[in-house]
């Protein structure tokens, strides 16, 4: 069939499909917005009682930028770009961990204006998307904790902590790594495993950085991005918003018991231990940090299914497939999920929701699995670098920019393959 891709925000004709989205993170918000664009009636339920600008850096690749750019003729993407790092001048400098020598200076390509990159503060970018969803009239119910998911032959729904039950044609469980929807879909509780790694992470203003002659150069150069890579550790440092904000992440080995907590306050002395023997510049940056988070990276084996037995509850984003941060694709893949599911629902229609949901999984499953793998390959490329080889070929440690990931158009792809996928179900 011919595929027409439009940037216009005029929703498609109403489908009569009633969609319930659980979770108002990026995945849930984008799924709801895309469902609205495809003509479905959608509402969001979120346990947090209010929107707070929380977190630190988050990355969206061009395959996400393509999605955002279609909203309001590029106006939403423009708002997000204004909050994001701009590395067209600076690029990415990769340092050897102990000497600090720059082993590679990776230039930032100009890119496609219709598929921009975004790297910025998670909370600030989230606020732009949240407010856009509100402006479309999508009901967002905050302070609503979901305690139960259910489905029967014709409907699916959720039960809130208050005892209220809400039913619809489909429930999208975008409720994160601790998903309750996943337990219903799988029929058992899927326990996370330690990935063997954790990340210390921080975001702070440039005040102390500028006061120190050793570190002032980063903030005086506007937006910058530097990485130090060493055995089983990498340290990434950015200055953002023309050098006014600073952010760093330090990935390192960690076998802590992840049942206790996945994210907790970090201690500077623990960071210093990891950085012993490293370029002193790393410690000079870290010691300016007023507070930090210690984030244990969890791993899950690929789930056998993202779809409930009745085909009316679908997992999306982290609830289906958590990513390692070295993929820089976790949030973007959740967006691709939402675009795909919104389209398969429209194509199948209200009378055949289970086919739509199963087609969504069939279109997405193998691609997600392949992109997930890049998180491990990038981490291992940095942590196991052979420095003699890197000296001869610095490209060996450059961050991968792969066309099969970045050039993917989730909307166009779902439209093109839908009929063929349904035949094979």
| CA nearest to 342, candidates 66, 130, 108, 35 | 35
Neighbours of 274 (CB within 10 A): 21
Distance between CA atoms of 189 and 178, rounded to whole angstroms? 10
Which among 313, 260, 319 has a CA at the least distance from the CA of 26? 319
Closest CA to 129 of 81, 68, 46: 68
Nearest partner of 197 among 261, 117, 256, 118, judged by Cα: 256
Which of 323, 317, 246, 320 is CA-nearest to residue 285?
246
- Choose, from 37, 81, 201, 379, the residue flagged as catalytic: 201
Q: Closest Cα partner for 58 from 87, 92, 84?
A: 84
**DSSP code string of 90-159:** T-EEEEETTT--EEEEEPPP---TTS--EEEEHHHHHHHHHHHHHHTT--EETT--EEEEEE-SS-EEEE
* Cα dihedral sign, 178-329-79-29: negative
Identify whether 201 is a catalytic site residue. yes
Task: Write down the H helix ranges in 138-279.
Answer: 181-186, 207-211, 216-220, 268-274
Beta strand 170-173 pairing with 313-315: parallel
Question: What span, in angstroms and rounded, lies between the C-alpha atoms of 392 and 389?
Answer: 5
3-state class of 370 per DSSP?
A: helix
Give the catalytic positions in this structure. Answer: 201
């Amino acid at each position: 069939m011919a595929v027409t891709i439009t940037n216009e925000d005029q929703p498609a004709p109403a489908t009569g499909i009633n969609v319930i989205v659980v979770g108002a993170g990026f995945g849930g918000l984008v799924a709801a917005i895309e469902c609205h664009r495809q003509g479905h009636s959608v509402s969001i339920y979120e346990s947090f009682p209010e929107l707070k600008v929380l977190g630190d850096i988050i990355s969206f690749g061009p395959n996400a930028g393509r999605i955002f750019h279609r909203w309001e003729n590029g106006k939403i993407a423009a708002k997000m770009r204004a909050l994001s790092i701009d590395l067209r001048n600076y690029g990415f400098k990769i340092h050897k961990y102990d000497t600090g020598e720059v082993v590679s200076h990776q230039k930032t390509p100009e890119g496609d204006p219709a598929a921009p990159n975004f790297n910025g503060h998670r909370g600030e970018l989230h606020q732009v998307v949240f407010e856009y969803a509100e402006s479309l009239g999508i009901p967002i119910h905050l302070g609503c904790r979901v305690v139960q998911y259910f489905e029967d032959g014709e409907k699916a729904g959720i039960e809130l902590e208050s005892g209220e039950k809400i039913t619809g044609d489909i429930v999208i469980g975008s409720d994160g790594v601790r998903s309750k929807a996943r337990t219903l879909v799988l029929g058992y509780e899927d326990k996370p495993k330690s990935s063997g790694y954790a990340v210390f992470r921080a975001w702070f203003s440039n005040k102390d950085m500028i006061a120190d002659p050793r570190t002032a150069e980063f903030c005086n150069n506007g937006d910058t991005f530097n990485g130090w890579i060493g055995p089983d550790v990498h340290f990434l440092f950015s200055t953002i918003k023309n050098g006014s904000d600073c952010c760093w992440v330090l990935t390192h080995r960690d076998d802590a018991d992840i049942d206790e907590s996945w994210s907790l306050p970090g201690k500077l002395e623990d960071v210093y231990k990891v950085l012993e023997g490293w370029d002193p510049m790393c410690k000079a940056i870290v010691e300016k940090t007023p507070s930090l988070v210690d984030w244990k990276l969890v791993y899950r084996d690929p789930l056998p299914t993202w779809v409930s037995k009745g085909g009316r509850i679908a997992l999306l984003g982290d609830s289906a497939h958590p990513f390692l941060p070295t993929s820089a694709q976790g949030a973007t893949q959740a967006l691709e999920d939402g675009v795909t599911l919104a389209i398969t629902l429209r194509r199948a229609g209200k009378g055949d929701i289970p086919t739509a949901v199963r087609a969504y999984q069939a279109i997405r499953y193998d691609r997600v699995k392949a992109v997930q793998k890049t998180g491990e390959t990038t981490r291992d490329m940095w942590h196991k670098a052979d420095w003699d080889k890197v000296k001869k070929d610095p490209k060996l440690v450059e961050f991968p920019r792969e066309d099969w990931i970045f050039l993917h158009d989730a909307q166009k792809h779902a439209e093109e393959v839908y009929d063929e996928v349904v035949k094979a179900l």
